[in-house]
Amino acid sequence: MQARDENTRHLGSREEDRAVSFLEKQGCTIIERNFSCRAGEIDIIYTDHEDTICFGEVKFRENTGCGLPEEAVDSRKQKKICRVSDHFRMKYGLDESQSYRFDVISLTPENINWIRNAFEYR
């Protein structure tokens, strides 16, 4: 079981690297990867070309037989990401005047789908 967990972590890290590379090519600036606190973790935090802070959730699926990767970001996961974003904003003293949004970067072996403003704050 431990080997499977290591393979899963390695795959997840590789796909996050792929998402970061994609975002950088789109003109985004990466602020932090794998920001974690007691509430959970956010995969990638970055700014877009308009200086909006984006909280990005990366989801990968080897195939879409069980659905699209972004479908895994359900309301429970969205709430968790929002709670973690609160911790990030408090840690760095960001107030409501700073614009931010929640994105999903959906990956399959053949495709990357960047879903901007994938969900509202919950």
In the chain, the domains with their CATH numbers are 2-119 (3.40.1350.10)
Q: Three-class SS of residue 39?
A: coil
Q: Residue 104: its pLDDT value, please?
A: 98
Q: Do the strands 29-37 and 100-107 form a parallel or antiparallel pair, or are they unpaired?
A: unpaired
CA dist., res. 24 & res. 16, Å (int): 12
Strand order in 53-60's β-sheet?
29-37, 40-47, 53-60, 100-107, 112-119
Q: What is the pLDDT of residues 28-54, one digit of tens each?
A: 999 999 999 999 999 999 999 888 999
pTM for this one?
0.91
- 17: confidence class by pLDDT, cuts 50, 70, 90: very high
**Nearest 10 degrees: CA dihedral of 7, 13, 18, 24?**
180
Q: In this model, does residue 1 exceed pLDDT 60? A: no
How close are the terminal C-alpha atoms of the chain, in Å?
35
Q: Which residue has the higher pLDDT, 55 or 12?
A: 55
pLDDT tens sequence across 60-107? 999 888 899 999 999 999 999 999 999 999 999 998 899 999 999 999
How far is residue 90's CA from residue 37's CA, in Å, rounded to a whole number?
Answer: 12
16, 108 Cβ separation under 8 angstroms: no
pLDDT computed for residue 65 by the predictor: 87
Report pLDDT for 95: 86
